[in-house]
Amino acid sequence: MGRLRSLYLGRGNGVIDVATTALYVRDGELMLDRADPRAIGLADLLPADGSFAGDRPAVKQRMIELAQALAPDEARAREGRVRGAVELVGPLPTVYLLLELAVCGRDEEQLLEGLGGASATYQSSAQSPALEQLPGLDPEMGQVLMCLEQPMPIASLLKATGLERDLALRGLARLWAVGLVSSEAEAAVESMATRLLSARGLEHFRETIEESLASMPVDLPPAEHRLTIVEKWRSLGEATHYDLLELGRRADEKAVHAAYGRIARLVHPVHAARLGMEGRDEILKVLFERVTEAYLTLADPGRRVAYNQLLGLAAPVEEVPPDQRASEKVKLAELYYRRGVERLASLEPSVAIDLLKEAVRLDPKPEYFATLGLAQAKNPAWRRQAATSYERAVELAPGSAKFRVGLAMVLEKMKRRKEARQHYRKALELEPSNAQAQAGLDRLSGKAPPAVADDAAAG
């Protein structure tokens, strides 16, 4: 819910994937793909002029039903992207979806935990679009809102409202979901970037990273480096701090430091001339500032807790048994892998790469890495990454001739002929009848035409 809430309050645009449903958000309001089964009949219920439909009981009820259907998979929601030409139905009243998602399937303790615990302090807010969209508030929401004209800890609020504990918590959760109240932690995060960067000094970080680059330059061809910058710039509006640093939610402090060093070196403004971005170096400056902001937030345990609460990630992962968590990761990785293979077959390599990266992150199987290498090899600018993926597959499964052939084909295209020849030979040792390996050796020895097929061996 955290990402949807953020887009709603900021009147932003984005796509959120929840299980098999894609939630498209335009100017803060929900849209559904007309082909989605959950959108059947919705268009006929909406005003013809595209105005707010929240005053229509049938539409409101459909939003409540949608929330109830999505709630079991809400924790696995992830950033999505537009899939080709999509005909959208909407705008739909996001406010009612958020109101229901805030409480659906949650008991008292889960509500309290999601709100930050009994000591978390809340206050009413006058910045939400819900002020104009809701014709009135449920009694418990109204009672809670009246008590929060001044900041108050939840423990005190539960006594002050005069409501049953569960009703007060449900009212507070709903008010927070639509931005009618905010927590102290949320307010702190909103101004965190300015405070952090002025206190630490953005220039200090720029100078430190520039010194690092002077002694050890980025080892990427300009075309590939520029493509990386373009991709990060395009996704900047929807990226969380974790996305910017390419980290999982459970990354430890060491991983945060390492990620910042790697990403900050890639997006440093000093690269402008090398990448042909003179006059457009503002892109690099903004990226560097956002990456530094992400680092300063996630590297500090207190600020990270506050930021996680803002994203709706307050629930501790330790409550899930380790064996259950591992099993869920394996299943989710398999799902990402299957979808990645489907996208690759549909000639959508960029989408496939995103899915396969998630698969190898969750479950580093050699076939997942090999298929990721296959997808990356489709783009000449990504051959270095393709070679790395195939190398990981070979490392995990050294007895696979197929993975070695895939790696050799990529290396051959990169003009790394000696290494390619070694892997072709090793593949033939493992599988003497492997025709692709023999053909590769023939090409490298001049016995066959030098062309190599665009597709390396799949996993």
Angle between helices 192-200 and 301-311 (to 10 degrees): 160
Q: Which residues are CB-neighbours of 454 under 8 A, at least 6 positions away?
A: 377, 378
Q: pLDDT tens, 384-418?
A: 999 999 999 999 999 999 999 999 999 999 999 99
- Check pLDDT > 60 for residue 32: yes
Q: What's the whole-number average pLDDT of the chain? A: 80
- Check pLDDT > 70 for residue 238: no
- DSSP assigned state of 358: H
More confidently predicted of 301 and 198: 301
Confidence of residue 78 (pLDDT cuts 50, 70, 90): low
Query: Domains along the chain?
Result: 2-100 (no CATH), 106-177 (no CATH), 192-314 (1.10.287.110), 322-444 (1.25.40.10)
pLDDT number for residue 199: 43
Distance CA 100, CA 94 (A): 10
- Check pLDDT > 50 for residue 457: no
Distance CA 23, CA 10 (A): 16
pTM above 0.85, yes or no: no
- Check pLDDT > 80 for residue 1: no
Distance CA 347, CA 341 (A): 10
- What Rg, from alpha-carbon coordinates, does the chain have? 26
Confidence of residue 318 (pLDDT cuts 50, 70, 90): very low
Give the dihedral sign, CA 108/113/117/120: negative
The candidate with the shortest Cα–Cα distance to 125, out of 144, 141, 148, is 148
Q: pLDDT tens, 139-197?
A: 788 888 888 888 889 988 988 888 888 899 989 988 888 888 887 666 555 545 444 55
87-102: average pLDDT: 84
Q: Which of 73-77, 143-147, 344-348, 366-370 has the highest mean pLDDT?
A: 366-370
- DSSP assigned state of 182: E
Candidate from 129-133, 215-219, 294-298, 443-447 with smallest mean pLDDT: 129-133
Phi-psi region of 93 (alpha: psi -120 to 50; beta: other; left: phi over 0): beta
Residue by residue, DSSP assigns 210-279 as HHHHHHS---S-HHHHHHHHHHHHHTGGG--HHHHTT--TT--HHHHHHHHHHHHHHH-GGGTTTTT-TT
More confidently predicted of 26 and 386: 386
